Structure 1
Amino acid sequence: MAVVSGSFGAGHDGAAAELARRLRARGHAVERHDLVDLLPRRAGAMLRGLYRRQLTVAPRTWGWLLAAAGSDRLSHRAAALTAAADEATLAAVGDAGLVVSTYPLASQVLGRLRRQGRLAAPAVTYLTDLSVHPAWVADGVDVHLALHDDAARQAKALGAPDVRVVAPAVRPEFAEPAPPPAGDPRALVVAGAWGVGPVARAALDIAATGLAVPVVACGRNDALRRRLDRSGRVVALGWVDDMPGLVRSCRVVVQNAGGLSSLEALAAGVPVVTYRCLPGHGAANAEVLDRIGWVPWLRCREDLADGLRAAMSGRPAFTPSPVPPESVLADLAVTA
């Protein structure tokens, strides 16, 4: 088997890593690949750098771009960009019996290769987002794995022929039992590996409520960590190796993008709220998470105190599918 991801942040890679680990545990040989490395002449690295800078400097423009990305004009441009990775992808996956994508542009490559008859193995897309952008649904991909009935409905509406609902691929360490956190209540603010978005404002807003001590996982954003350190009101952390332990030590997780960190916290039994979310995929995921009852979206500062109180006084309403994604993938590999 082969799993193709995209290192645009850590969420897509995190899902790919967990899927690969579970499949290997079942006895399958699995190779992982990054679309960034499959694009020629460092185009992938440059695209990743532009994306990170856009989220950091002008996040609203990312929201506008994502909204427009479903148009025919931009879809053709995306197809032209990803086509440059076709040959390298085909060589990388080789004679794999099944190929799984955890990143939308990788799905576009696999779907095109399937349509052209150049990729013999079935292609599967694991939808890491609860909000399904049109780029996620590539013509030619055989099966889409969704994390909720709502996401499955969206994928089907976009033309996905075979959609199956599975549980999120979250590391088992997050679900390990742990004693209730002691001491002053802490609110963990997560913003992905890059620490992007209005994280500092969110943390200071939490501090101002007096309800919890904000602990910010700044990822690899050292400038953000230093700025928050100077505030004297926030516990600012750099890269965290024991994320399961950190999540379980807090009473609530505050997130802004609706990605893997949200699912990890819910798996750990820690309530999650959305606050000051990123434009584009952040707002889209926030809307779905709120609609399905997994994560409430606190849309303004006036909602924050009541939202934190409610979250810290209850348990997360999280009812994932009982079907593990690796079982579906293993069955597809057998029947391919």
Structure 2
Amino acid sequence: MEERAWKILIVYARFGDGHYQVSKALEQQFASHPGARFEVHLVDLFAEAHPAMDAIVRCAYAKSMTWFPKTYGWSYRVTNGMKYDRPLGRWLHAFGQSKMASLLQTIKPDAVIHTFPFLATYPAMASSGISIPTYTVITDYELHTRWIHPLTDGYFVATEEMKAQIAGMGIREDRIHVTGIPIRGQFRGERRSRLEICGEKGLDPDRAYVLVMIGALSDPERLVDSLLKLELSATLLLVAGRNAKLCRRLAKRYESRTEVQVIGYADHIEAYMSVASCIVTKAGAVTLTEAIAMGVPVVVYKPMPGQELGNAEYWDRKQALRMAKDAASVRAAVELAIRSREDAPACRIGQTDASRVIVAEVLRGGGAGRTARRSSELASPAVRIAPAGREAGEALRGFFEIDPPFDTRI
């Protein structure tokens, strides 16, 4: 008799593309696992539970990053210290609770994995009277306390520093696994030849290319105009993503410039990374991880206050990228990155196969015990305030009920 397939529910959100790509990387790994069968369900919980609100919030999120970056950074710092069991935490994690309860009843997953901190799984399980192993994959190099919940069976984090931070908040160390951020196999495997990729994409293999993830960047025209003044001879590959309006606008503006090629959404972005001499991008953790894993020199343009700045600063400390705060300095950073690569080709910084490690741990943890959690685990351990949010948090502590440090160990 064939063994029943494991049912895995992966909960993500479309605030940026990174959370979805991490979910796809995990799905890819589950599908290729040799020792068990898996039935994987990817769910954008907020979009399915509140489609109209999801569209509004995603639009507001994107606009805030362009128009009000300091306001976004302020709100990030203020809430970095929120507790799951206080009004703000309960309110945020209640979004999608009914939908999540329905999914748990219909899919009956053996494990739930969060790649975005909408943690409606826990109130949904409490209301349904069921217990399922749950895991959280933190998709940044900067920790925000919104990811933390005492009933999470396992955390998969990018760095040893983040593990120490979470352990310092009272989470047992054996629940925290340093794996790196999962990326899809095509960013870790052997590259196709430059000649093959250029032939497929209609590119000149003898020409230098600067890959610009323009769809996620502010001041796109000013940035492109600055890059067109590069002293080095290079073609700009502008990836506009799903922003069709921007794609049309850029194509019209630069239609007479042979050194500019506008691209819409590129599902196989690794092909363009393979032939690029440099990539200019925002500081999304997944894009940075993909580019660095492939050894492409990275220039981060105007890192957003909050998790993006934290991501950029982490890799900047490792001298794995350069940061540019305006259109004028990005040109110099790109020229330096290209010249540095010509003098000494970039080395790939070692990355653990995060997806493989996570799947193995989920399989081990899910098989080891699916019994109900002890009632003692349902106590209300608090969460320490992260240093970055302490000063701002003092001002709004009464409203958000963000508590000071405590010593309870989960």
Q: TM-score range by the shorter chain?
A: 0.7 to 0.9
Q: Residues 95-106 of structure 1: matches in 2 within 5 Å?
A: 95-104=108-117, 106=118
Of 27-36 and 314-323, more deviation after overlay is shown by 314-323
Q: Deviations over 1:27-46 (max 9, x none)?
A: 21211111223434733333
Q: Deviations over 1:245-281 (max 9, x none)?
A: 1221212222212332222222333232323223322
| CA displacement at 1:144 relative to structure 2 | 0.8
Contact 1:115/1:140, CA 8 A, preserved across alignment: no
- Cα offset, 1:145, TM superposition: 0.3
TM-score, length-normalised on structure 1? 0.86
Structure 2 residue identity aligned to 1:184: R
Aligned Cα root-mean-square deviation (Å): 2.8
Task: Give the Cα–Cα distance (whole angstroms) in 2 for the partners of residues 328 and 271 of structure 1.
Answer: 32
1:57 corresponds in structure 2 to 67
Structure 1 unaligned blocks of 5 or more: none
Higher mean alpha-carbon deviation, 212-221 vs 309-318, is at 309-318
- Whether the 8 Å CA contact 1:36–1:48 is kept in 2: the answer is no
Partner of 2:38, secondary structure, is coil
**Number of equivalent positions:** 332
- In the other structure, the counterpart of 2:230 is 209
Over 3 Å counting, the alpha-carbon distance change for 1:164 and 1:222 in structure 2 is same
Q: Residues 108-128 of structure 1, C-alpha deviation per residue, up to 9 Å, x if partnerless?
A: 323555678845111111111
Rate the CA distance shift 1:311–1:117 in 2: closer, same or farther, 3 A. Answer: farther
Tell me what 2:31 maps to. Answer: 24
Verify: 1:3 aligned to 2:10, yes or no. yes
The match for 1:219 is 241
User: In the alignment, what sits opposite 1:164?
Assistant: 177
Amino acid at match of 1:271: P
Distance 1:210 1:78, change over 3 A: farther
Counterpart of 2:39 in structure 1: which amino acid?
A
- Residue 131 in structure 1 maps to residue 142 in structure 2: yes
Aligned to 1:15: 22
User: How far apart are residue 73 of structure 1 and its match?
Assistant: 9.6
The CA deviation at 1:316 is 3.6
| Partner of residue 209, structure 2 | 186
* Aligned mates of 2:24, 2:307 — CA distance in 1: 22
Find 2:294's aligned residue among 268, 271, 279: 268
TM-score normalised by the chain length of structure 2: 0.72
| In 2: Cα distance, 1:267 partner to 1:252 partner | 13
Which residue of 2 is the match for residue 87 of structure 1? 98
Cα distance 1:309–1:273, how it changes in 2: closer, same or farther (>3 A)?
same
> Residues 222-263 of structure 1, C-alpha deviation per residue, up to 9 Å, x if partnerless?
333344331436322111233221221212222212332222
Alignment gaps of 5+ in structure 2: 1-7, 196-204, 370-410
Q: What secondary structure does 1:68 align onto?
A: helix
Aligned residue identity for 1:206: L
Is residue 187–residue 213 contact of structure 1 (8 Å, CA) maintained in 2? yes
Distance 1:293 1:151, change over 3 A: farther
- Amino acid corresponding to residue 224 of structure 2 in structure 1: A
- For 2:150, what is the secondary structure of its paired residue? coil
Residues 1:141 and 1:306: Cα distance change in structure 2 (over 3 Å): same
What is aligned with 1:314? 345
Does the 8 Å contact 1:220/1:239 carry over to 2?
yes
| Structure 1 residue 244 corresponds to structure 2 residue 270 | yes
Q: Is the 8 A contact 1:110 1:140 kept in 2?
A: no
Contact 2:279 2:298 in 1 (8 A): yes
Residues 144-169 of structure 1, C-alpha deviations (whole Å, 9 max, x = no match): 10123233333333444321011432
8 Å CA contact retained: 2:82, 2:146: no
Provide closer, same or farther for how the CA distance between residues 73 and 135 of structure 1 changes in structure 2, counting only shifts above 3 A: closer
| C-alpha distance after superposition, 1:158-217 (max 9, x if no partner) | 4443210114322222333233472221111125xx534344433333332333332221
Task: Describe the SS at the equivalent of 2:113.
Answer: strand
Q: Identify which of structures 1 and 2 has the higher relative contact order when contacts are C-alpha pairs closer than 8 Å and 6+ apart.
A: 2
- 2:361 is matched with 328
Cα distance in 2 for residues equivalent to 1:158 and 1:294: 29
Q: Which amino acid aligns with 1:318?
A: I
Q: Give the conservation status (yes or no) of the 8 Å contact 1:165–1:321.
A: no
> 1:31-46 maps to which residues of 2 (within 5 A)?
31-40=41-50, 42-46=52-56
CA-to-aligned-CA distance 1:91-120 (integer Å, 9 cap, x gap) = 21332111000002x2x3235556788451
Deviates more, 1:176-185 or 1:7-16: 176-185
Comparing 321-330 with 94-103, which one deviates more in the overlay? 321-330
Q: Provide Cα deviations, 1:5-26, integer angstroms capped at 9, x if missing partner.
A: 0111211111112212211332
3-state SS in 2 of match to 1:235 = strand
Query: Structure 2: which amino acid aligns with 1:213?
Result: T
